[in-house]
């Protein structure tokens, strides 16, 4: 439990005797003028001026959300905040706010505290704004031809050297990902963003600071969402299986090709489910922000703008009691929510819209290549250069793994997908993410949104999620078709048998890591996954979602 601030009543309780009462009143006024703020009082309405000392940081980073400012909480008082060169996130009308400063200069934080008798005092604090530096990993870098070409080629490499099991491995954090967590992770100044301990530390800090009722709200969210979270993973299987059938050349009888319209339809359905999960989370997250106490805001505010190494070293053991009794799926959801809570609180629309290049084209096994050795290995750092270095094998013929014609065909996908990714001014993936992110973030207000406002946000999220699914589906159809054309051309224009053997060897080299002084090879995937959890091959759901009935409609 966080320490409680000293009770204001204990600071101002008068002793008997007129002189002592006067002295106590003078001391009270002096206290209100001390600390990090200036204060002025108005006694015209009668009574003693309330405490109005504003506690706030002395310096902040420009446009960085989540800083805290507070005045002493006092029974019967009302609070009116004014922020100059900044905005209030939540807390207006309470003893504490979370705020976002402007870009440069100074942010001024004032709070007028009015007692039940009408007496008032105003406290003011200022904080110098340190201009923010542009993050090294940003949307412009992600959308660059270089990042996109190697990422698509890396997906092709995963598909050509892997199997359905590897395709099915998928991080749960990629679902409903409008909270800026990927931006936080990619730009961690201590280079721990791709270490398995990163999510654990940030999530453990958030769960540590939450009170019982707030944890209960997250538990209820997890309980209500786990079925649909898993349904999302199951609904990926028909796409993955159909892409595998196309690559292997084992199309359903009577069909000749993969249907772009059918792929888009399945993708749309997935993204609509993703949008619903996102909306449900945003409602709960925003409600939790409104419930944060001054201590909670200060705790999280002290983390904002800082790297992993500067956060309190909280571990799962420190919050185990808060997840006790939950299923494994619910615990995973809780840890995911907690990470999202922090990154959304400390982020912006810009960080919400950001995505790593691997965010799309997720059906081909690239996540298994990078993440499989990290599972159940705390402290493991994923190789951040793997996508670029291995991706070059299929988009740069000079590497020796593919012909010039094959590399050209692979690189052509970068141009093919460009309109859907960002080029079409009225309908593109970046725009869809922006519209969804703006709608979700509009729920972060000091007062709870009305039913009409919630319905408007939910409708906006659904509309743009459907479009998002169409666009990503069309791109995935293009990826799968090209990967199959390259793979089924072995011995022809694009690939030789020896080059295909070389790609398999490259996979083994890349996925062999040292554990306890000995090499361990993760390149051969012998399991099927629901996210990162093993799925029995006899599972009814697995058999259903990979059946001919599930995949046949994706072909024409």
Which domains occur in the chain, in start order? 35-130 (2.60.40.1080), 139-486+514-552 (no CATH)
Q: Is residue 46 very low, low, confident or very high in pLDDT (cuts 50, 70, 90)?
A: low
Query: Residue 329: which of 214, 233, 393, 247 has the closest Cα?
Result: 233
Mean pLDDT of 491-504: 96
pLDDT at 211 over 90: yes
Mean pLDDT of 88-115: 98
Compute the CA torsion angle 185, 191, 197, 200 (nearest 10 deg): -40
pLDDT tens, position by position, 239-248: 999 999 999 9
Rounded distance, CA 480 to CA 155, Å?
10
Would you tell me how many other CB atoms lie within 10 Å of the CB of residue 153? 28
Rounded distance, CA 365 to CA 306, Å?
33
pLDDT at 478 over 60: yes
Mean pLDDT of 80-94: 98
Query: Residue 476: which of 367, 355, 359, 361 has the closest Cα?
Result: 361
- Contacts with 270 (C-beta within 8 Å, 6 or more apart), sequence order: 232, 235, 236, 469
Rounded distance, CA 389 to CA 371, Å?
16
Tell me, letter by letter, the H, E, C secondary structure of 422-488: HHCCCCCHHHHHHHHHHHHHCCCCCCCCCHHHHHHHHHHHHHHHHHHHHHHHHHHHHHHHHHHHHHC
pLDDT tens, position by position, 382-420: 888 899 999 999 999 999 999 999 999 999 999 999 999
Radius of gyration, CA atoms only, the chain: 27
Here the tokens at position 268 are 């749309």
pLDDT tens, position by position, 283-322: 999 999 999 999 999 999 999 999 999 999 999 999 999 9
pLDDT at 378: 82
Beta bridge partners of 88: 99
Query: Residue 160: which of 487, 485, 488 has the closest Cα?
Result: 487
Q: Is residue 43 very low, low, confident or very high in pLDDT (cuts 50, 70, 90)?
A: low
pLDDT at 359: 93
Output the average pLDDT for the chain.
Answer: 92
Concatenated DSSP letters of 287-345: HHHHH--HHHHHHHHTTTT--GGGS----GGGGGGGSTT--HHHHHHHHHHHHHHHHHH
pLDDT at 105 over 90: yes
pLDDT tens, position by position, 249-273: 999 999 999 999 999 999 999 999 9
For the purposes of burial, counting CB atoms within 10 Å of the CB of 416, is it exposed (0-12), middle (13-18) or buried (19 or more)?
middle
pLDDT at 364: 98
Mean pLDDT of 6-29: 36
Q: Is residue 5 very low, low, confident or very high in pLDDT (cuts 50, 70, 90)?
A: very low
pLDDT at 224: 98
pLDDT tens, position by position, 116-132: 999 999 999 999 999 99
pLDDT at 12 over 70: no
pLDDT at 380: 82
| Intra-chain end-to-end CA distance of the chain, in Å | 60
pLDDT at 456 over 60: yes
pLDDT at 381: 85
pLDDT at 42: 61
255 or 18: which leads in pLDDT: 255
pLDDT at 361: 92
Here the tokens at position 149 are 């070409």
pLDDT tens, position by position, 151-193: 999 999 999 999 999 999 999 989 999 999 999 999 999 999 9
CA 160 to mean position of chain CA atoms = 30
Mean pLDDT of 100-108: 98
Q: CB of 194 within 8 A of CB of 386?
A: no
Rounded distance, CA 528 to CA 546, Å?
11
Here the tokens at position 529 are 């996954």
pLDDT tens, position by position, 47-83: 789 999 999 999 999 999 999 999 999 999 999 999 9
Mean pLDDT of 519-525: 94
Mean pLDDT of 440-469: 98
Q: How far is CA 224 from CA 198, 213, 230, 289, 340, in A?
A: 26, 17, 12, 20, 17
pLDDT at 4 over 50: no
């Amino acid at each position: 439990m966080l320490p409680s601030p000293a009770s204001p009543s204990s600071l101002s309780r008068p002793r008997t005797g007129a002189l002592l009462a006067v002295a106590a009143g003078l001391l009270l006024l002096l206290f209100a003028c001390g600390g990090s703020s200036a204060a002025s009082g108005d006694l015209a309405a009668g009574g003693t001026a309330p405490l109005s000392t504003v506690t706030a940081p002395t310096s902040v980073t420009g446009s960085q959300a989540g800083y805290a400012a507070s005045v002493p909480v006092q029974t019967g008082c009302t609070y009116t905040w004014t922020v100059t060169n900044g905005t209030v996130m939540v807390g207006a009308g309470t003893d504490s706010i979370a705020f976002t400063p402007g870009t440069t200069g100074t942010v001024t934080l004032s709070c007028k505290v009015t007692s039940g008798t009408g007496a008032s005092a105003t406290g003011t604090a200022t904080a110098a704004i340190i201009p923010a530096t542009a993050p090294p990993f940003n949307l412009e870098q992600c959308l660059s031809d270089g990042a996109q070409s190697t990422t698509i080629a890396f997906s092709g490499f995963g598909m050509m050297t892997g199997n359905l099991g590897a395709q099915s491995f998928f991080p749960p954090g990629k679902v409903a990902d409008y909270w800026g967590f990927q931006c936080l992770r990619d730009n961690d100044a201590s280079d721990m963003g791709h270490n398995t301990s990163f999510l654990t530390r940030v999530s453990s800090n958030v769960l540590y600071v939450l009170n019982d009722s707030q944890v209960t709200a997250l538990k209820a969210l997890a309980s209500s969402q786990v079925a649909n979270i898993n349904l999302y993973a199951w609904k990926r299987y028909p796409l993955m299986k159909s892409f595998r059938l196309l690559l292997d050349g084992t199309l359903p009888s009577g069909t000749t090709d993969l249907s772009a319209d059918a792929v888009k339809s399945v993708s749309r359905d997935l993204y609509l489910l993703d949008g619903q999960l996102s909306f449900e989370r945003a409602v709960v997250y925003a409600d939790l922000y409104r419930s944060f106490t001054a201590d909670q805001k200060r705790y999280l505010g002290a983390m904002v703008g800082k790297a992993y190494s500067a956060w309190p070293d909280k571990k799962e053991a420190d919050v185990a009691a808060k997840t006790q009794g939950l299923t494994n799926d619910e615990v995973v959801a809780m840890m995911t929510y907690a990470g999202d809570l922090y990154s959304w609180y400390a982020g912006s629309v810009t960080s919400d819209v950001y995505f790593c290049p691997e965010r799309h084209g997720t059906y081909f096994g690239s996540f298994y290549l990078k993440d499989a050795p990290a599972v159940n290995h705390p402290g493991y750092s994923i190789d951040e250069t793997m996508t670029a270095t291995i991706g070059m094998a299929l988009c740069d013929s000079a590497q020796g793994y593919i012909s010039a014609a094959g590399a050209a065909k692979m690189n052509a996908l970068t141009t093919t997908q460009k309109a859907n990714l960002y080029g079409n001014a009225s309908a593109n993936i970046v725009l869809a993410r922006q519209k969804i992110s703006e709608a979700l973030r509009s729920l972060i207000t000091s007062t709870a949104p009305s039913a009409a406002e919630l319905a408007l946000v939910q409708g906006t999220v659904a509309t743009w999620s459907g479009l998002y699914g169409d666009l990503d589906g069309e791109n995935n159809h293009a990826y799968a078709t090209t990967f199959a054309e390259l793979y089924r051309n072995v011995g022809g224009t694009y690939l030789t048998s020896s080059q295909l053997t070389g790609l398999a060897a490259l996979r083994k080299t890349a996925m062999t890591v040292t554990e306890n002084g000995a090499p361990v090879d993760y390149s051969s995937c012998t399991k099927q996954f629901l996210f990162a959890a093993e799925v029995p091959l006899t599972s009814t759901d697995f058999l259903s979602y990979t059946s001919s009935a599930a995949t046949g409609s994706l072909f024409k």
